[in-house]
Structure 1
Amino acid sequence: MKIYLLYQSKDSKNHYADAERLFIGRIAKYIKFEAIQLAPLKISKSLNSEQVQQKEMEYFQSRIPVGSRVYLLDEKGKRYASRDFAKWLDNQMAYDSRDICFVIGGAYGFSKTFKQLAEGQLSLSDMTMAHHLARVVFLEQLYRGFTIINNEPYHND
Protein backbone atom coordinates (compact mmCIF):
# COMPACT_ATOMS: atom_id res chain seq x y z
CA MET A 1 0.00 0.00 0.00
CA LYS A 2 1.08 3.53 -0.73
CA ILE A 3 -0.34 6.89 0.28
CA TYR A 4 -0.31 9.84 -2.09
CA LEU A 5 -1.00 13.52 -1.52
CA LEU A 6 -2.03 15.29 -4.72
CA TYR A 7 -2.15 19.08 -4.97
CA GLN A 8 -1.57 22.05 -7.27
CA SER A 9 1.18 24.54 -6.45
CA LYS A 10 3.76 26.70 -8.12
CA ASP A 11 5.73 26.79 -4.84
CA SER A 12 7.62 29.94 -5.74
CA LYS A 13 7.40 31.09 -2.11
CA ASN A 14 6.72 28.03 0.02
CA HIS A 15 7.70 29.05 3.52
CA TYR A 16 6.56 25.65 4.80
CA ALA A 17 8.82 23.49 2.61
CA ASP A 18 11.13 22.51 5.50
CA ALA A 19 8.18 21.30 7.59
CA GLU A 20 6.79 19.38 4.61
CA ARG A 21 10.11 17.62 4.03
CA LEU A 22 10.42 16.84 7.75
CA PHE A 23 7.03 15.12 7.95
CA ILE A 24 7.38 13.36 4.58
CA GLY A 25 10.64 11.85 5.84
CA ARG A 26 8.99 10.77 9.07
CA ILE A 27 5.96 9.28 7.30
CA ALA A 28 8.24 7.27 5.01
CA LYS A 29 9.36 5.23 8.04
CA TYR A 30 5.84 3.78 8.26
CA ILE A 31 4.52 3.54 4.70
CA LYS A 32 5.39 4.30 1.11
CA PHE A 33 4.41 7.92 0.55
CA GLU A 34 4.52 10.33 -2.35
CA ALA A 35 3.50 13.97 -2.58
CA ILE A 36 2.52 14.75 -6.16
CA GLN A 37 2.74 18.42 -6.99
CA LEU A 38 0.89 19.51 -10.10
CA ALA A 39 1.54 22.78 -11.87
CA PRO A 40 -1.40 25.13 -11.35
CA LEU A 41 -4.03 24.66 -14.00
CA LYS A 42 -4.31 27.66 -16.30
CA ILE A 43 -7.92 28.78 -15.95
CA SER A 44 -9.66 31.39 -18.08
CA LYS A 45 -11.04 34.25 -16.01
CA SER A 46 -14.27 33.93 -18.00
CA LEU A 47 -15.13 30.62 -16.28
CA ASN A 48 -17.46 30.55 -13.29
CA SER A 49 -16.64 28.61 -10.11
CA GLU A 50 -18.51 25.46 -11.22
CA GLN A 51 -16.64 25.40 -14.53
CA VAL A 52 -13.33 25.84 -12.69
CA GLN A 53 -14.24 22.96 -10.35
CA GLN A 54 -15.05 20.76 -13.36
CA LYS A 55 -11.74 21.54 -15.08
CA GLU A 56 -9.81 20.92 -11.85
CA MET A 57 -11.62 17.62 -11.30
CA GLU A 58 -10.60 16.44 -14.77
CA TYR A 59 -7.03 17.62 -14.14
CA PHE A 60 -6.78 15.81 -10.80
CA GLN A 61 -8.43 12.65 -12.13
CA SER A 62 -5.85 12.43 -14.89
CA ARG A 63 -3.09 12.30 -12.26
CA ILE A 64 -4.62 10.12 -9.55
CA PRO A 65 -2.71 6.83 -9.48
CA VAL A 66 -4.81 4.06 -11.05
CA GLY A 67 -6.71 1.93 -8.57
CA SER A 68 -6.30 4.35 -5.67
CA ARG A 69 -9.05 5.14 -3.21
CA VAL A 70 -9.59 8.90 -3.34
CA TYR A 71 -10.28 11.08 -0.33
CA LEU A 72 -10.78 14.80 -0.77
CA LEU A 73 -9.46 17.19 1.86
CA ASP A 74 -12.38 19.57 2.14
CA GLU A 75 -13.50 21.95 4.87
CA LYS A 76 -16.98 20.37 4.73
CA GLY A 77 -15.64 16.83 5.05
CA LYS A 78 -15.72 14.53 8.08
CA ARG A 79 -13.77 15.85 11.05
CA TYR A 80 -11.70 13.58 13.23
CA ALA A 81 -9.82 14.03 16.47
CA SER A 82 -6.24 12.76 16.09
CA ARG A 83 -6.89 9.40 17.78
CA ASP A 84 -10.03 8.86 15.70
CA PHE A 85 -8.13 9.69 12.52
CA ALA A 86 -5.45 7.17 13.53
CA LYS A 87 -8.14 4.52 14.05
CA TRP A 88 -9.68 5.37 10.66
CA LEU A 89 -6.26 5.19 8.99
CA ASP A 90 -5.46 1.87 10.66
CA ASN A 91 -8.80 0.45 9.46
CA GLN A 92 -8.16 1.69 5.93
CA MET A 93 -4.83 -0.12 5.85
CA ALA A 94 -6.15 -3.30 7.49
CA TYR A 95 -9.21 -3.88 5.33
CA ASP A 96 -8.20 -2.66 1.88
CA SER A 97 -4.75 -2.96 0.33
CA ARG A 98 -5.41 -0.43 -2.43
CA ASP A 99 -3.41 2.77 -2.39
CA ILE A 100 -4.95 5.92 -0.94
CA CYS A 101 -4.77 9.29 -2.68
CA PHE A 102 -5.64 12.39 -0.67
CA VAL A 103 -6.38 15.46 -2.78
CA ILE A 104 -6.16 19.13 -1.80
CA GLY A 105 -8.46 21.14 -4.07
CA GLY A 106 -8.22 24.54 -5.61
CA ALA A 107 -9.54 27.87 -4.38
CA TYR A 108 -13.15 26.98 -5.28
CA GLY A 109 -13.08 23.56 -3.65
CA PHE A 110 -14.39 20.39 -5.28
CA SER A 111 -17.31 19.87 -7.64
CA LYS A 112 -20.35 17.91 -6.47
CA THR A 113 -19.45 15.27 -9.05
CA PHE A 114 -15.92 14.85 -7.70
CA LYS A 115 -17.29 14.57 -4.16
CA GLN A 116 -19.67 11.83 -5.31
CA LEU A 117 -16.91 9.94 -7.13
CA ALA A 118 -14.50 10.07 -4.18
CA GLU A 119 -14.55 7.48 -1.40
CA GLY A 120 -15.00 10.30 1.08
CA GLN A 121 -14.02 13.73 2.30
CA LEU A 122 -11.94 14.67 5.31
CA SER A 123 -11.76 18.07 6.97
CA LEU A 124 -8.60 19.41 8.54
CA SER A 125 -10.47 22.29 10.15
CA ASP A 126 -13.67 24.30 9.93
CA MET A 127 -11.43 27.18 8.96
CA THR A 128 -10.19 27.82 5.45
CA MET A 129 -6.40 27.83 5.19
CA ALA A 130 -3.70 28.42 2.61
CA HIS A 131 -2.81 25.34 0.58
CA HIS A 132 0.80 25.29 1.79
CA LEU A 133 -0.39 25.30 5.38
CA ALA A 134 -3.05 22.65 4.68
CA ARG A 135 -0.32 20.36 3.37
CA VAL A 136 1.75 20.76 6.54
CA VAL A 137 -1.29 20.22 8.78
CA PHE A 138 -2.26 17.09 6.85
CA LEU A 139 1.28 15.70 6.81
CA GLU A 140 1.67 16.30 10.55
CA GLN A 141 -1.64 14.57 11.28
CA LEU A 142 -0.71 11.65 9.05
CA TYR A 143 2.58 11.29 10.90
CA ARG A 144 0.79 11.67 14.24
CA GLY A 145 -1.67 8.97 13.17
CA PHE A 146 1.15 6.53 12.48
CA THR A 147 2.78 7.24 15.84
CA ILE A 148 -0.56 6.59 17.57
CA ILE A 149 -1.07 3.35 15.62
CA ASN A 150 2.43 2.23 16.63
CA ASN A 151 2.11 3.36 20.27
CA GLU A 152 5.05 5.72 19.91
CA PRO A 153 5.59 8.75 22.12
CA TYR A 154 4.55 11.75 20.03
CA HIS A 155 0.85 12.30 20.70
CA ASN A 156 -0.32 13.38 24.15
CA ASP A 157 -3.99 13.32 25.15
Structure 2
Amino acid sequence: MKTTLILVGKTNGKLFNEGIDDYAKRIGHYTPFAVKVLPELKSTKSLSESQQKDKEGKMILKTISPSDFVVLLDEHGTEYRSMEFAKWVEKRRNSGRDLVFVIGGPYGFSPDVYNRADALISLSRMTFSHQMVRLIFVEQLYRACTIIKGEPYHHE
Protein backbone atom coordinates (compact mmCIF):
# COMPACT_ATOMS: atom_id res chain seq x y z
CA MET A 1 0.00 0.00 0.00
CA LYS A 2 1.27 3.41 -0.97
CA THR A 3 0.70 6.73 0.78
CA THR A 4 0.58 9.96 -1.20
CA LEU A 5 0.27 13.60 -0.17
CA ILE A 6 -1.23 15.85 -2.83
CA LEU A 7 -0.52 19.57 -2.51
CA VAL A 8 -2.13 22.33 -4.54
CA GLY A 9 0.68 24.74 -5.39
CA LYS A 10 4.33 24.59 -4.45
CA THR A 11 5.64 25.04 -0.95
CA ASN A 12 7.18 28.45 -0.40
CA GLY A 13 10.11 28.93 1.91
CA LYS A 14 13.38 27.07 2.29
CA LEU A 15 12.64 26.12 5.90
CA PHE A 16 9.29 24.52 5.02
CA ASN A 17 10.73 22.69 2.00
CA GLU A 18 13.65 21.31 3.97
CA GLY A 19 11.37 20.13 6.78
CA ILE A 20 8.87 18.52 4.42
CA ASP A 21 11.65 16.80 2.47
CA ASP A 22 13.23 15.52 5.69
CA TYR A 23 9.99 14.03 7.01
CA ALA A 24 9.07 12.63 3.58
CA LYS A 25 12.37 10.71 3.52
CA ARG A 26 11.77 9.47 7.07
CA ILE A 27 8.24 8.30 6.19
CA GLY A 28 9.71 6.48 3.19
CA HIS A 29 11.58 4.17 5.56
CA TYR A 30 8.21 2.86 6.81
CA THR A 31 5.99 2.89 3.76
CA PRO A 32 6.15 3.91 0.09
CA PHE A 33 5.46 7.65 0.22
CA ALA A 34 5.24 10.37 -2.41
CA VAL A 35 4.44 14.07 -2.42
CA LYS A 36 2.67 15.26 -5.58
CA VAL A 37 2.56 18.99 -6.17
CA LEU A 38 -0.18 20.21 -8.49
CA PRO A 39 0.52 23.49 -10.29
CA GLU A 40 -0.93 26.71 -8.96
CA LEU A 41 -3.64 28.25 -11.08
CA LYS A 42 -2.62 31.15 -13.27
CA SER A 43 -4.56 34.41 -13.62
CA THR A 44 -6.73 33.83 -10.56
CA LYS A 45 -7.70 37.52 -10.22
CA SER A 46 -10.37 37.00 -12.88
CA LEU A 47 -11.74 33.90 -11.11
CA SER A 48 -14.18 33.74 -8.21
CA GLU A 49 -13.38 31.57 -5.18
CA SER A 50 -15.85 28.99 -6.48
CA GLN A 51 -14.23 28.93 -9.92
CA GLN A 52 -10.78 28.50 -8.36
CA LYS A 53 -12.00 25.61 -6.21
CA ASP A 54 -13.62 23.98 -9.25
CA LYS A 55 -10.45 24.24 -11.35
CA GLU A 56 -8.26 22.96 -8.52
CA GLY A 57 -10.81 20.23 -7.88
CA LYS A 58 -10.56 18.97 -11.45
CA MET A 59 -6.76 18.73 -11.09
CA ILE A 60 -7.09 16.88 -7.79
CA LEU A 61 -9.65 14.42 -9.14
CA LYS A 62 -7.45 13.64 -12.17
CA THR A 63 -4.63 12.70 -9.79
CA ILE A 64 -6.73 10.30 -7.68
CA SER A 65 -7.60 6.78 -8.78
CA PRO A 66 -11.02 5.21 -8.08
CA SER A 67 -9.54 2.69 -5.64
CA ASP A 68 -7.71 5.27 -3.49
CA PHE A 69 -8.84 6.05 0.05
CA VAL A 70 -8.95 9.86 -0.11
CA VAL A 71 -8.51 12.02 2.98
CA LEU A 72 -8.94 15.79 2.85
CA LEU A 73 -7.21 17.98 5.38
CA ASP A 74 -10.09 20.23 6.26
CA GLU A 75 -11.03 22.47 9.17
CA HIS A 76 -14.33 20.58 9.55
CA GLY A 77 -12.68 17.18 9.71
CA THR A 78 -12.19 14.85 12.63
CA GLU A 79 -9.45 15.77 15.08
CA TYR A 80 -7.21 13.00 16.41
CA ARG A 81 -4.63 12.78 19.13
CA SER A 82 -1.37 11.37 17.74
CA MET A 83 -1.96 7.86 19.13
CA GLU A 84 -5.48 7.80 17.68
CA PHE A 85 -4.21 9.01 14.32
CA ALA A 86 -1.59 6.24 14.28
CA LYS A 87 -4.28 3.61 14.90
CA TRP A 88 -6.42 5.18 12.19
CA VAL A 89 -3.53 5.12 9.69
CA GLU A 90 -2.70 1.51 10.55
CA LYS A 91 -6.31 0.48 10.00
CA ARG A 92 -6.36 2.24 6.61
CA ARG A 93 -3.08 0.62 5.59
CA ASN A 94 -4.46 -2.80 6.45
CA SER A 95 -7.43 -2.19 4.16
CA GLY A 96 -5.20 -2.70 1.12
CA ARG A 97 -6.18 0.59 -0.53
CA ASP A 98 -3.67 3.31 -1.33
CA LEU A 99 -3.99 6.21 1.10
CA VAL A 100 -4.11 9.69 -0.42
CA PHE A 101 -4.07 12.84 1.71
CA VAL A 102 -4.93 16.16 0.05
CA ILE A 103 -4.11 19.69 1.14
CA GLY A 104 -6.09 22.03 -1.08
CA GLY A 105 -5.68 25.60 -2.17
CA PRO A 106 -6.41 28.74 -0.14
CA TYR A 107 -10.20 28.45 -0.48
CA GLY A 108 -10.55 24.76 0.29
CA PHE A 109 -12.15 22.15 -1.91
CA SER A 110 -14.84 22.02 -4.56
CA PRO A 111 -18.08 20.12 -3.91
CA ASP A 112 -16.88 17.39 -6.30
CA VAL A 113 -13.73 16.82 -4.25
CA TYR A 114 -15.76 16.69 -1.02
CA ASN A 115 -18.07 14.15 -2.65
CA ARG A 116 -15.10 11.97 -3.63
CA ALA A 117 -13.47 12.10 -0.19
CA ASP A 118 -13.60 9.08 2.08
CA ALA A 119 -12.64 11.06 5.19
CA LEU A 120 -11.88 14.55 6.46
CA ILE A 121 -9.17 15.25 9.03
CA SER A 122 -8.47 18.48 10.89
CA LEU A 123 -5.07 19.09 12.42
CA SER A 124 -6.39 21.62 14.91
CA ARG A 125 -9.18 24.04 15.66
CA MET A 126 -6.61 26.77 15.09
CA THR A 127 -5.93 28.13 11.64
CA PHE A 128 -2.48 27.58 10.13
CA SER A 129 -1.03 28.82 6.88
CA HIS A 130 -1.11 26.30 4.03
CA GLN A 131 2.69 26.22 4.18
CA MET A 132 2.67 25.39 7.88
CA VAL A 133 -0.05 22.73 7.51
CA ARG A 134 2.13 20.84 5.06
CA LEU A 135 5.02 20.62 7.50
CA ILE A 136 2.82 19.83 10.51
CA PHE A 137 1.02 17.09 8.61
CA VAL A 138 4.13 15.26 7.39
CA GLU A 139 5.56 15.39 10.91
CA GLN A 140 2.34 13.84 12.27
CA LEU A 141 2.38 11.16 9.57
CA TYR A 142 5.99 10.35 10.49
CA ARG A 143 5.00 10.27 14.16
CA ALA A 144 2.19 7.84 13.30
CA CYS A 145 4.67 5.59 11.50
CA THR A 146 6.94 5.48 14.55
CA ILE A 147 4.01 4.80 16.88
CA ILE A 148 2.84 1.92 14.67
CA LYS A 149 6.37 0.43 14.78
CA GLY A 150 6.64 0.98 18.54
CA GLU A 151 9.64 3.26 18.19
CA PRO A 152 10.53 5.87 20.84
CA TYR A 153 9.95 9.08 18.81
CA HIS A 154 6.57 9.67 20.49
CA HIS A 155 6.25 10.02 24.27
CA GLU A 156 2.97 9.86 26.12
The TM-score with structure 2 as length reference comes to 0.92
User: Residue 53 of structure 2 contacts residue 108 of structure 2 at CA under 8 Å; is this kept in 1?
Assistant: yes
Q: 1:87 to 1:11 in 2, by over 3 A?
A: closer
How far off is 1:24 after superposition?
A: 0.8
Contact 2:60–2:113 (Cα < 8 Å) also in 1: no
Unmatched segments (≥5 aa) in structure 2: none
Q: 1-side partners of 2:114 and 2:12: how far apart?
A: 29
Identity of matched residues, %: 40
Distance of 2:46 and 2:116 partners within structure 1: 26
Are residues 1:138 and 2:143 paired?
no
Deviation sequence 1:71-103 (CA, Å, 0-9, x none): 101111110000000010111111x11111100
Moved more, 65-74 or 96-105: 65-74
Contact 2:93 2:99 in 1 (8 A): no
Partners of 2:116 and 2:65 lie apart in 1 by 15
C-alpha separation between the residues in 1 aligned to 2:144 and 2:4? 15
Give unpaired runs (5+ residues) of structure 1.
none
How many matched pairs?
A: 156
* Counterparts of residues 25-104 of structure 1 (less than 5 Å): 25-65=25-65, 67-94=67-94, 96-104=95-103
Question: Given the alignment of the two structures, is residue 120 of structure 1 paired with residue 119 of structure 2, yes or no?
Answer: yes
Deviation string 1:53-76 (CA, Å, 9 cap, x unpaired) is 111111111122453211101111
- Aligned counterparts of 1:48 and 1:100: Cα–Cα separation in 2: 31
TM-score by length of 1: 0.91
RMSD: 1.6
| Local SS of the residue matching 1:40 | coil
Does the aligned pair in 2 maintain the 1:79–1:122 contact within 8 Å? yes
Task: Measure, in 1, the Cα distance between the counterparts of 2:44 and 2:106.
Answer: 14
Greater mean alpha carbon deviation, residues 47-56 or residues 82-91: 47-56
1:112–1:15 Cα change, 3 Å? same
Q: By how many angstroms is 1:13 displaced?
A: 3.1
Q: Secondary structure at the match of 1:15?
A: helix
Distance 1:10 1:145, change over 3 A: closer
C-alpha deviation, 1:12, in angstroms: 5.1
> Secondary structure in 1 aligned to 2:45?
coil
Counterpart-to-counterpart distance in 1, 2:100 and 2:45: 29
Q: Matches of 1:98 and 1:57 in 2, distance apart? A: 21
1:149 aligns with 2:151: no
